[in-house]
Amino acid sequence: MAAAPAVAAFKAATTEPAAADGGPAATLRVVTGGYRRLDGTTPARQLVKPVLEHLELTQSLAKGVQDHAQRNRLAAVGSEVASLAGWLSWDMGDYGSARTWYGAAVKSARRSGQPLLAAYQLGSLAQFEAHAGNAQQGLSLAQSARKALGDRPPVIADAWLASVEALCHAAAGDAEASDDSLKTAIRFADRVTNDSTPWPWVFTFNESKVAATRVACGARLGRSDWISSAQDSATAVLSSGHEKQRALLILDVASGHLASGRIDGAFALATGALEIGLRFRSGRIVERARALRRSYATPRSLPRVVREFDDRLYEVFL
C-alpha cells in the first residue's frame, strides 16, 4: 500500500526544480516536500513507512559525507523528514512516537546550523503539546522558538508562532492571553503575501489560518462566540483539499454548536468529520470525535443523531 505515495514523491523529485544548494540534499528535500503534500489526501498509515525509509536514507548519506556544509544541509533535510514522521505519528494517534520524532527534528535542526529551521521544529512541537493539553510545556517550547528566531524573523514565522502561542494559552484556559496572541497573529498575517512563503514552510500562513486557529481555541475554551465569529473567515481551510485538517476544524465548529445547545447540528457535523477520520484511519480525528462526545452530558433520552453517532463511534478501534 505504501508504493503509491513513494512513486508519487519520486516523480515530484524528478519534475520539480532542485533547490539552490544542489547535491543529494536538494533531491531529498524535494522528495520530502512531495510526501508533505501527499499527507492531505493519503492515510498516514500508508505514508509513514516510506517516510521512515526516507529518513533512514537521509541519515545514512549524512554519515558518509565529509564536507561540513553538505553535512549540515543533510542534517536540515533529516530534521524536515523527522518532523513529518512526527506529524504522521500524531495523525495516527501515536503520541509517544510523535514526541520522539519531533524531538529528533529539533536536534537535527540544531546540528544543521539553521536557526529558522530550529524555531520551526520547536514551534511544531509546541503546537503538538498544546493540542495534547500540555499548555506550560507548549509555552516553554514556543518561547525557545522565539529565541531561536533572532531579531528579524520572516513575518510568516511571527504570525505562525503567535497562533501556536494562542493554542497554548487556550489549552491553559487563559482566554485573554489567547485572544491577545490571536490579534498579534492576524497583524502579522496581514503582511504575509502568497509569494513570501520561505523554507521550511510549505504552505502560506494567512488570515484564514488565523481564523481557523481562533475556532480551535474557542473549542478548547468553550467560547462558542469565537467559533461563530471566525467560522466564515476560516472557509478557505474548510474548503481546502486537506481533508484531515478540514475534519478537525469541522469538529471544532461542532463544539461551538454543542456549546450553544444546537445538538442536532453539532452531531451532524461531527458524524461527517468522523467519517473522514475513519476513511483515512486517523486516530487523531477519531479521538477528537470521542472528546466531543465526552463533553456532551448524556440526557435520559438521547436524540437520534447522537445515538447514530454513538453507534458509529463504538465500532471504531483506532
pLDDT attached to residue 13:
36
Rounded distance between C-alpha atoms, residue 249 and residue 236, angstroms = 11
pLDDT in tens, 36-76: 889 988 999 999 999 999 999 999 999 888 899 999 999 99
Residue type, 249: L
Rounded distance between C-alpha atoms, residue 234 and residue 226, angstroms = 12
Rounded distance between C-alpha atoms, residue 248 and residue 254, angstroms = 10
Q: For the whole model, what pTM was predicted?
A: 0.88
Long-range own/partner contacts, residues 184-190 (CB < 8 A, 24 or more apart) = 184/158, 185/159, 185/160, 185/210, 185/213, 186/159, 186/210, 188/155, 188/156, 188/158, 188/159, 188/162, 189/159
Of 69, 74, 80, 34, the C-alpha closest to 58 is 74
In terms of Cβ atoms closer than 10 Å to its own Cβ (0-12, 13-18, 19+), residue 26 is: middle
pLDDT attached to residue 20:
47
pLDDT attached to residue 233:
86
Rounded distance between C-alpha atoms, residue 38 and residue 9, angstroms = 8
Q: Which residues contact 35 (CB under 8 A, 6 or more apart)?
A: 5, 9, 47, 50, 51, 54, 84
pLDDT attached to residue 14:
32
pLDDT attached to residue 195:
63
pLDDT attached to residue 318:
62
pLDDT attached to residue 37:
87
Regions of the chain with pLDDT less than 50? 1-20
Rounded distance between C-alpha atoms, residue 34 and residue 253, angstroms = 30
Rounded distance between C-alpha atoms, residue 47 and residue 18, angstroms = 23
Mutual angle of helices 243-259 and 224-231, in 10-degree steps = 130
- Residue 176 — φ and ψ, nearest 5°? -65, -45
